[in-house]
Structure 1
Amino acid sequence: MEQFTAFSDAERRRLDELVSDRRERHAIREDIIADGAHSPDCHVILSGLACRYKILPDGTRQIMAFLIPGDLCDAEIFILKVMDHGVAAMTPTVTALVSAEDMKAMLRETGCLGEALWWGTMTDLGVLRERIIDHGRRNAYERIAHLLYEMLVRYRMVELTRDDSFDFPITQTDLADATGLTPVHANRTLQKLRGDGLIETSGKTIRVCDPPRLKDVAQFNGAYLHLDRVHEPARVGQRPGDLV
């Protein structure tokens, strides 16, 4: 949230208290909240990796977004009666539970907390819009390049990269479900990205070998992540543009 605005010490303490009060651990593939379910709480990813997904009547799955530490899974649940999609853990994942009443109170505030929550929602919607563009206009090579560059930027935001490397422990089936490709096509596309010297993979770690070139291949424009709203550099000497 501090990619959007700088919090006061009091606001930071309040957030720390909210995410420290109650926590849940989720196993790989376990639903954090199921499609059609309701929860009295909102879930915030503290560690691990999760995804938004939908299962079609024929049993196939579409992954619509990946959720990393700091992301809200279900900010809309206190408004909706039930979820219209599922959120599942891709790795062992820890979430913090924030009550619907606390969420409502923060959203009604006029200070930084309320604005930052709205910023998070707008960014979430921006990611979903990019997935629509993926399926409508990007070819497989551009589609996977765009997803990997987006994840690099998002992991940079929460300081979970190491020399342009990040842990992305998903299977080829997961990648295919996220990009609308078959696992075979997704695998061939990854091999081409490796062969072209754009990425390297080691286990579940991805290293972007040439970030400017990958960004160019992906035709990546980070405006949908709204990093231009940062009031102060996230770290000493770092500016929003450094993240993208």
Structure 2
Amino acid sequence: MSNPLTTKLTSFAALSDEERVALDQVCQDTFTVKSRDLIRVGDRPEQVFLILDGWACRYKDLPDGKRQILAYLLPGDLCDPHVFIFEQMDHSIRAVGEARVAAIPKQVILDLTDRYPALARGFWCSALVDEAVSREWLVNVAQRDSYTRMAHLFCEIWLRMCQVKRTSGGTFALPLTQEQLGDTLGITPVHVNRVLQRLRAEGLVTTCHRQMTIHDIDALKAAAEFDSRYLHLERRVPA
């Protein structure tokens, strides 16, 4: 399977063969992790994690035991490529189920961006999209009802998985529990179940064996009031 980071960055910048090889070389130090933290609040990271297969999430725990999931990291996503600029992590990153991860030393990231301007541009664009996704998630939780926000989340995940070629038609991996969906959308697991049942009853989605199938993406987008511009998926014109 192709390097998902290369697949993702080529939607932001045209990459040469040399740059593609360089990206493959930084993905050699890999490991598999299952449902545990990659980075915790207060850590001082010296490397950047790249998700090659599976999922991870950014999250923060509250003193009362509640958890808010802040973002999902999918294949091709770097876990905060500039995080080592700060002294300490202000949030945690955890594998969602089983994930294959590459550990990239911070100096390697710096060398790549110094040597290859197209890669630097790709990393920059990717980081800007991450910020746009964070803004949309804030709107989702604060202003949309639970039905619309769940449909919106599924539209976003499907498009992001399409970007890195991790879909088959309308089907993609969705390794989330109802509790995790609740921690993402700010609703209880019981409410998550009700909304999922409604989406299924309307023939929009089905879930089976940690996978989701979207049966009518246009109808799901309509239900979500979804505007994909914040994902900036159109091919960029080189600067």
TM-score by length of 1: 0.90
Is 1:88 the counterpart of 2:87 in the alignment? no
Is 1:4 the counterpart of 2:4 in the alignment? no
Q: Which residue of 2 aligns with 1:220?
A: 226
Is 1:140 the counterpart of 2:168 in the alignment? no
- Cα distance in 1 for residues equivalent to 2:67 and 2:115: 38
The amino acid across from 1:103 in the alignment is: I
Is the contact between residue 32 and residue 98 of structure 2 (CA under 8 Å) also seen in structure 1? yes
| Cα RMSD (Å) | 1.4
Q: Which residue of 1 aligns with 2:23?
A: 15
The structure 2 residue matched to 1:168, chosen from 174, 182, 195, is 174
- Cα distance in 1 for residues equivalent to 2:205 and 2:34: 29
- Cα distance in 2 for residues equivalent to 1:92 and 1:194: 26
Query: Cα deviation per residue 1:92-134 (whole Å; 9 max; x = unaligned)?
Result: 1111111111222334456210000001101111111111001
TM-score by length of 2: 0.92
> What SS class does the counterpart of residue 91 from structure 1 fall into?
strand
1:26 deviates by 1.1
> What SS class does the counterpart of residue 88 from structure 1 fall into?
strand
1:229 deviates by 3.8
- Cα distance in 2 for residues equivalent to 1:131 and 1:158: 21
Q: Which runs of 5+ in 2 are unaligned?
A: 1-8
Q: Which residue of 1 aligns with 2:6?
A: none
- Cα distance in 1 for residues equivalent to 2:153 and 2:189: 16
The amino acid across from 1:34 in the alignment is: R
Q: Which runs of 5+ in 1 are unaligned?
A: 233-244
> What SS class does the counterpart of residue 174 from structure 1 fall into?
helix
1:34 deviates by 1.0
- Cα distance in 1 for residues equivalent to 2:187 and 2:55: 21
Query: Cα deviation per residue 1:69-95 (whole Å; 9 max; x = unaligned)?
Result: 100112122201111111100111111
Q: Which residue of 1 aligns with 2:70?
A: 64
**Identity value in percent:** 38
The amino acid across from 1:145 in the alignment is: A
> What SS class does the counterpart of residue 121 from structure 1 fall into?
helix
Alignment of 1:91-240 (within 5 A): 91-108=97-114, 111-231=117-237
